[in-house]
Chain A
């Protein structure tokens, strides 16, 4: 790559020419040319901004400026990849409220969504900032990648060096990388208001780019898309907020065959095994979380174990990444002062990372990540001369940067460079004097000192200048001269002070002080608790697994089986599970016949206990990160809950404890056509992708009524169409008419080219793709609905537009339209007994489920609520209470019926040989309030075990106290606040935080 020539365009200056292009020789250098390499006593020769030579026998010609470093160190200068150096600081607050701002707020031939602005170029806005450059240079940095952290497609960042010169002189790479995030930044448009919305938007923008390349350009010019095309070969950086975001980025950009370099949130240690397989590359922060000050003994109740463990483990993250062979560089982003860097590096080192890898992560790796290793990132002949001179080795407690040289020029000289750090304890010796201790301690930037004889202390006036010291006793002391003077000398890393003093008679006395300990070392030794060895946890939080549970062959004996099949409830029956499937059921089962020989088998005596199919929640909003509603527009069929699954939500575990094994994670009900569902099994401890049911049928959320009309959101929500049930109908007609047109255009485009759609100027629209899938019967609708008129309306729309409605969910007035539903095979997924929370549920009755069931509609009960989700078996019992459904049928309301709705009934939802072993062992009749789930099994893996749960509880309790105790002994800044609780979403929650309750 051709990196700028440093042939600066001459500027007009108000003085005489002063170019001094001299050769510089650094002699007596301890040179660290690259990670893991050290050359002692060498010379480094620099000329014309480049490294000319280094080694033992480097000839120094005439006209060379010679710097005798007397053994001091030279390191390649650092490279900072995450900064807004030279750019205007961000001042916006991200918009969270909806204001019906649908389009752009600024005109221009750009992308219709203002969070996508790839055309923004840091290089063109860049202005050298001497102060900021100096603070970076003072910490050993010579090069920075700078970009403006605003938006989802943020545009390109530039690589600059940190010389205080003109912009054209310091700019190295104009467009070094494109940067993405899931945060919309300063955009005032409503869309996107959720993480899944941001992801959908990125996906659509790439599709638009493809369309533009294939001919879209002939129809319209769009500078954003042109910028995207131009950036095709640039590295792609992504700013992540968590390890799960990392995975989302791998998935999303993987669709474009791109591998993002991820600015990490510092928590990759949570799933090292996964990142190892991703060939991942990270920019990891050196800012580690602050601990908490526990203001009272109960405050720990409010701070989740995951926060405490993150505090404890985050400093080990770099080491653990290295240990697993995962590439990373460091960023100081988040540190208050850049020079806190060195303290943080020592922390990282104490947590296991070698000095070699630390240096690599500051030099070579960032250079490679942004493809400038050919010119920077190490000291090598012909490379640009970026390096710094330091007092000591990088991790030494006394380490100081003395000078930083950027492109062969001295950019920074430490004014305190002459000031040696002499702080420490010394054994002082003088004629007739012994056992005296000289104590030198920091006093601001200077030092103070005292002499100690036994337990008596005598303060000194202490002065240091370059390599000389002088001191005098503040009060005269018998037998001691008043004034001492001497020189410093280093032996190993310890100082030796020696000199002379004159006593009252003018006689010269010799003295010497040998350092016995460094001040910083004493501090460190005294105060820091030991680093605990790393232990994996899945997930890295309370209730997590020490190691992931495995599939087992299990023989449940003599249970009461609730088959949810035509066999009904069977007493004294066995079930055999092998390789994730139910392989046999019956009385006194002959297991040897059913299992391969030698299969290890667990036997569970289930006498007096009950086994039901795993419970299936047709309507769940748990395990979703970054908002449950996109909902900023009436139709957001392009968003996918599957893009935002949160595998760490403890609600997963709570629900396992209530026997739930499968959930449909639904988009909220803020708009008529919401987003696509994720069907997951509650495989606690696994990653989001692993939880999703492979090849699951597609589902999507629709909604009718008050939420869609924004009826109950206050007076500021009266503009988005629709505001009435009349309008809601038209949204559906409009959407499906558009989808039909789209299908035709797509078909025509496909016909034109045998190679398929992508070859033509056909714009893939993910919103219409999802609607077309509905028309093609490939995506199934779950429609939030309450009252009969609107239910009937959608049935008519579906009939006339030629699509099917899969399930009406909530459907509290379903009993009024049961026959219409039955005639079309539409399922009903309702609440057992909720009502009265809004006007449209005034005629909701708890007999709804029983009535629908009587008429012959496949009926289920769902939760829509993380709490009810863990008691769905009890909700099923209400079908018995209200309307007298048989117990045999009632269990189906939460098992095989929702399985049918989710189109998973061939694989789960009942106890039948050949089906997935998704089973719950109950202590009592599963419809009883007294029943507790003792084991919850998914595909033959026990994900909840009541006995093990008690052990986990005890483990977590002890661990919290252990970490809190360690926290209290660690001297660092602490916070006193209580971290926000994990949001609990319901249908109509509009923000990421989650706010409503029903």
Chain B
């Protein structure tokens, strides 16, 4: 019982003190190209970090502030930490080994299932993501109709308790897909299945809406308890839907149930419904941009153009790497933002797709997601353009003002074998 009441208390609790230790000094990073993530690029700029936060940002033409330590970056680039949403990072290790998979619970209605406590900070995979500048991860359950709730983590920490940034930020709903290919032309089987699923959904949301009014239910219900935040705007409803009719049905459904914050995930057809999404104030987390056309005959580069179309329409868009091999592959997330740039966005807009916009969507933008005064000093440093694999080599990574390890198991093996073959390291 206490445990259940507890649920409502720690929803939307931002954890400010993680296990990274305190950086008690002030550090000035200067002579850098600073990509703030707010739409600005400061050439020849500086950034003052005090304890775990950004204290000031400026350009070299101003007088440099005093600091305990000064680091000249020699025109290197500083970027806000990359945020990877809609991922099973920390919940899976080896796809083909069932024992290492913790993202898909059995049953179809699992709003009570939480990614939080299954999140593995010692995943070998997430360390390789960190090495590529991915500083924040949203670990999400998948499958079923309601998969459970996600949480946001710093991509470093001793355990989930100190890595977590925001617990249970939203509930994940897989919208039943209505466009289903069939071999024999018979759609009745799917229609019947979808009707059944819709019945389950309708009932669940009606019950949850009624339940939320009970402050101390005589008979607590673990599922309905987990859904309270959806109705008061403290939790997102993340809806995985891809195609037009499904997106419209899903958003209309959620809005009619009084859900405050609706986030569309996947959204392959979102660019066909922009006025509709705008009207309902829906944010979009796009599926992996590096994919094949979603529909037969579609222009070969339409998937690459979609982010620019949505951004131009004023919709808040984030990129994800969801799909096959999404966790290990998400070290390429920044390069998909590069593709969005190649197909219509400015460099600053493209960067926002993986920094400030996901922070806004996940409700952590007051804390991280851009390099702004007062926000956490979460950033990484590269020699060149972080959105282009050609130049994206990451030199240093800072989380809450403290440099974290950019090494990983793969780099170790690389060094070991370069040594074995008597070759000099190139990095």
Spell out A's residues near B (CB within 8 Å). Answer: 296, 298-299, 301-306, 541-543, 650-651, 653-654, 657, 706, 711-712, 815-816, 818-819, 833-839, 842-843, 845-847, 850-851, 854-855, 866-868, 870-871, 874, 877-878, 880-884, 887, 925, 927-932, 949, 953, 956-957, 960, 975-982, 984, 997-998
Contacts and interface: CB of A to CB of B under 8 A. Distances in A.
Main secondary structure of the interface of A (DSSP, over half): loop
Main secondary structure of the interface of B (DSSP, over half): loop
B292 A867 contact: yes
Contact of A978 (B180, B325, B410, B423): B180
Contact of A305 (B125, B296, B327): B296
In the A-B complex, the 4 residue pairs with the closest CB atoms: A884-B426, A304-B296, A929-B338, A838-B96
Contacts of A834: 325, 328-329
Contacts of B389: 874, 877-878, 880-881, 927, 929
Given A929-B342, A998-B325, A843 B300 contact: no
Given A977-B185, A978-B182, A838 B97 contact: yes
B388 A930 contact: yes
B201 to A, nearest CB: 21
Nearest to A301: B295
Contacts of A887: 390
B341 interface: yes
A843 B408 CA distance: 12
Output the residue of B245, B328, B387 with the most chain A CB within 10 A.
B328
B182 A854 contact: no
Contact of B410 (A543, A650, A847, A880): A847
B199 interface: no
Contact of B339 (A815, A850, A925, A929): A929
A978 B179 contact: yes
B96 A877 contact: no
Given A298-B243, A305-B297, A981-B296, A836 B125 contact: yes
Interface string B269-298: 100100000000000000000111101111
Interface string B122-144: 00110000000000000000000
B207 interface: no
B300 A653 contact: yes
B210 to A, nearest CB: 33
A298 B192 CA distance: 21
Interface string B325-340: 1011101100100110
B94 interface: yes
Interface stretch (B61-69, B109-117, B368-376, B412-420): B412-420
Given A657-B300, A956-B297, A839 B291 contact: no
B295 A706 contact: no
A835 B96 contact: no
A997 B292 CA distance: 13
Contacts of B182: 977-978, 980
Interface in B65-98: 93-97
26 contacts: A298-B245, A301-B298, A304-B296, A542-B297, A653-B300, A833-B328, A833-B331, A836-B95, A836-B124, A836-B328, A837-B325, A851-B423, A867-B292, A877-B388, A877-B389, A881-B389, A881-B393, A928-B390, A929-B339, A929-B389, A930-B388, A976-B187, A978-B179, A978-B180, A978-B182, A980-B181
Contacts of B423: 851, 854-855
Given A883-B426, A929-B339, A980-B183, A303 B296 contact: yes
Contacts of A839: 94, 96-97
B94 A819 contact: no
Output the residue of B272, B341, B417 with the most chain A CB within 10 A.
B417
Contacts of B93: 836
A874 B336 CA distance: 11
A654 B325 contact: no
Output the residue of A298, A925, A975 with the most chain B CB within 10 A.
A298
Contacts of B245: 296, 298
A932 B421 CA distance: 37
B296 A883 contact: no
B181 A874 contact: no
Contact of A930 (B97, B272, B291, B338): B338
Nearest to A837: B95
Given A653-B300, A836-B125, A978 B181 contact: yes
Contact of B414 (A657, A818, A845, A982): A845
B299 interface: yes
A445 to B, nearest CB: 30
A925 B384 CA distance: 15
A929 B427 contact: no
B94 A836 contact: yes
A815 B329 CA distance: 21
A846 B410 contact: yes
Contact of B296 (A542, A837, A976): A542
A957 B387 CA distance: 32
A880 B125 contact: no
B405 interface: no
Contacts of A998: 95, 324-325
Contacts, number: 178
A838 B187 contact: no
A302 B296 contact: yes
A928 B388 contact: yes
A975 B187 CA distance: 10
A877 B390 contact: yes
B247 to A, nearest CB: 10
Interface string B26-53: 0000000000000000000000000000
A657 B293 CA distance: 12
A842 B96 CA distance: 11
Contact of B295 (A302, A543, A867, A870): A302
Nearest to A885: B426
Nearest to B246: A298
Contacts of B179: 299, 302, 978
B117 to A, nearest CB: 22
B301 interface: yes
Output the residue of B245, B339, B341, B389 with the most chain A CB within 10 A.
B389
B332 A833 contact: yes
Interface string B358-402: 000000000000000000000000000001111011000000000
B325 A845 contact: no
B421 A854 contact: yes
B414 A851 contact: yes
B129 to A, nearest CB: 11
Contacts of A835: 328, 410
A881 B418 CA distance: 16
Given A302-B179, A837-B95, A932-B342, A997 B390 contact: no
Interface string B174-216: 0000011111011100000000000000000000000000000
Contacts of B339: 929
B244 A298 contact: yes
B417 A816 contact: yes
A653 B301 CA distance: 12
A949 B325 contact: no
B283 to A, nearest CB: 22
B298 to A, nearest CB: 8
Contacts of B94: 836-839, 842
Contacts of B124: 836, 842
Nearest to B340: A929
B292 A654 contact: yes
B413 A843 contact: yes
A838 B99 CA distance: 12
Contacts of B341: 929-930
A976 B185 CA distance: 7
B143 to A, nearest CB: 15
Contacts of A878: 389
B410 A712 contact: no
Nearest to B324: A997
A868 B297 CA distance: 19
Contact of A975 (B96, B185, B296, B417): B185
A543 B325 CA distance: 30
